[in-house]
């Protein structure tokens, strides 16, 4: 995602963090995706002359809530994410938070900052993990929000 102020600000080996009331400052190892989508609305206009075919057009439809999907190793800090998700599931409107999403380079220099406006934790998932396996299980987190605003 780019905006006029940061074109050409390419980051290799990026680092990802979110900061908000419910999660504090939390680092993530992987960005799975940033999604913002509008559905298409079809409009049919009938001509008063029945011999003419209707005109079918598409226009902007209903916006879907933007999402940011991130992954991090499953550790003790996961409890904050699980608590945020649980409160969201219970419909607690106080769980909505303006979350800062920051992308930095390996040296820690901030490259991009976004505000996830009125964000909530909509999904958490821990994929398959095997006992005794040396791999670190990952926590996958999806955050929905009303808007993604470049800071």
Q: How far is CA 113 from the centre of its chain?
A: 13
Q: What pLDDT does 2 receive?
A: 47
Mean pLDDT across 32-58: 90
pLDDT band at residue 65, thresholds of 50, 70 and 90?
A: very high
pLDDT > 80? residue 17: yes
Query: What are the boundaries of each domain within the chain?
Result: 8-35+64-150
Of 88 and 129, the one with more pLDDT: 88
Q: What pLDDT does 6 receive?
A: 47
Q: What is the model's pTM?
A: 0.80
pLDDT digits (tens, 9 = 90+) for 99-145: 999 999 998 899 999 999 999 999 999 888 778 888 888 999 999 99
pLDDT > 80? residue 38: yes
Strands in the chain per DSSP E: 15-20, 24-28, 30-45, 55-73, 97-104, 110-125, 138-144, 147-150
- Span 8-35+64-150: which CATH code? 2.30.110.20
- Return the bridge partners of 142, or none: 69, 123
- Return the bridge partners of 64, or none: 37
pLDDT > 90? residue 84: yes
Mean pLDDT across 45-50: 88
């Amino acid at each position: 995602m780019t905006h006029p102020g940061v074109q050409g600000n390419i980051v290799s080996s990026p680092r990802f963090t979110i900061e908000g009331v419910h999660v504090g400052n939390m680092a993530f190892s992987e960005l799975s995706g940033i999604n913002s989508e509008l559905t298409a609305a079809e409009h049919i206009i009938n001509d008063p002359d029945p011999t003419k075919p209707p005109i079918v057009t598409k226009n902007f439809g209903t916006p879907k809530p933007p999402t940011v999907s991130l992954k991090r190793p499953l550790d003790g800090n996961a409890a904050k994410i699980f608590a945020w998700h649980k409160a969201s599931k219970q419909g607690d409107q106080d769980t909505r938070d303006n979350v800062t999403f920051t992308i930095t380079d390996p040296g820690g220099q901030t490259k991009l900052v976004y505000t996830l406006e009125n964000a909530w934790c909509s999904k958490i998932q821990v994929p398959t993990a095997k006992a005794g396996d040396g791999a670190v299980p990952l926590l996958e987190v999806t955050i929905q929000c009303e808007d993604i605003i470049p800071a």
